[in-house]
Chain A
Amino acid sequence: MSELFPRKQVMGFVFSLVLTAAALTVYFMDLSFAVGMTVLLVTAFVQAAVQLVVFMHAGETDDKVAIYMNIYYGVAIALVTIFGTLLILVWDM
């Protein structure tokens, strides 16, 4: 039975619960906007990385480079789009 619950994945699950709990501090504690956003950004991206590496096995084949390049590229353009849009329509309007 225990072979069905590999240590790496169980730890990954526990870690993701811990990260969720950490993110919740912004709700239960009275943090400033800057600190709160920092906490959320860190927990969310670490959480995403855990999913990617531990659960999705992104790096297990020869296509590792293509897969990571694809994800990094997508995330970079996503961030450019989000922050660019905010700059144009909210911050600098």
Chain B
Amino acid sequence: MKIDNTLPLEYSTEQNRMNVLGFWIFLGAEVMLFATLFATYFTLAHRTGNGPSGAEIFEIAPVLIETFLLLTSSFTIGLGVHAMRLGRKNAMIAFFAVTLLLGLAFLGVEIYEFTHYVHIGAGLQTSAFTAILLTTLGTHGAHVTLGLFWGLFIILQVKKRGLTPETANKSFIFSLYWHFLDVVWIFIFSFVYLKGMM
């Protein structure tokens, strides 16, 4: 492997540059995945059957907490990548760890939200609206859950192997994934919750 030392570690080999571009292309596919969920959500948003509507079940407090947690985690992982580029391994691990903790807290609030919905009679089988609401949120939540494990693996690898072209590349790609989840959440926040409560 030829290592180009003029570039940041995560871009330093040809394979690394391909990995990053490949991941961006994957994110393009993810855009379409979530767009399909949104298309379905908007189509079914008012088809509530005998179940409740969005305005009846949405609450602003947990949503705001979730938004703040995820926005902050997106900021901290950005700092993590910055620290990685400075070669500050421990600072980077700390920022990544904070990110994952914020992600975990987000997931906790989301699980609370889900149980709350089911409790007040807005379960998966209640109506087309509740089904697509929970599926859209659930798909995002599943991405976050996967991200928690992935991020943990990366922290372990950086800790053990140090900042190498491989680990830096993986960390950077993970940061792309995490930022992307934040972007998706912003659209959920705006067009599922705020539009629903407007």
A-side interface residues toward B, CB under 8 Å?
Answer: 3-6, 9, 12-13, 16-17, 20, 23-24, 26-27, 31, 33, 36-37, 40-41, 43-44, 47-48, 51-52, 54-58, 61, 63, 66-67, 70-71, 73-75, 77-79, 81-82, 85-86, 89-90
Contacts and interface: CB of A to CB of B under 8 A. Distances in A.
A4 B86 contact: yes
Contacts of B68: 20
A4 B79 CA distance: 7
Given A9-B79, A63-B21, A82-B42, A20 B35 contact: no
A81 B75 contact: no
Contact of B197 (A3, A27, A79): A27
Interface magnitude class on chain B: 35 or more
12 contacts: A4-B86, A6-B79, A9-B79, A23-B194, A33-B198, A43-B190, A44-B190, A56-B179, A66-B24, A67-B21, A77-B35, A85-B40
- 5 nearest A-B pairs in the assembled complex, by CB-CB distance: A78-B35, A74-B31, A74-B28, A13-B75, A85-B39
Contact of A20 (B11, B20, B40, B71): B71
Contacts, number: 133
Contacts of B77: 55
B137 to A, nearest CB: 17
B159 interface: no
A contacts with B: majority SS? helix
Most buried by B among A26, A33, A56, A70: A56
B contacts with A: majority SS? helix
Most buried by A among B28, B40, B88: B28
A78 B17 CA distance: 27
B66 to A, nearest CB: 11
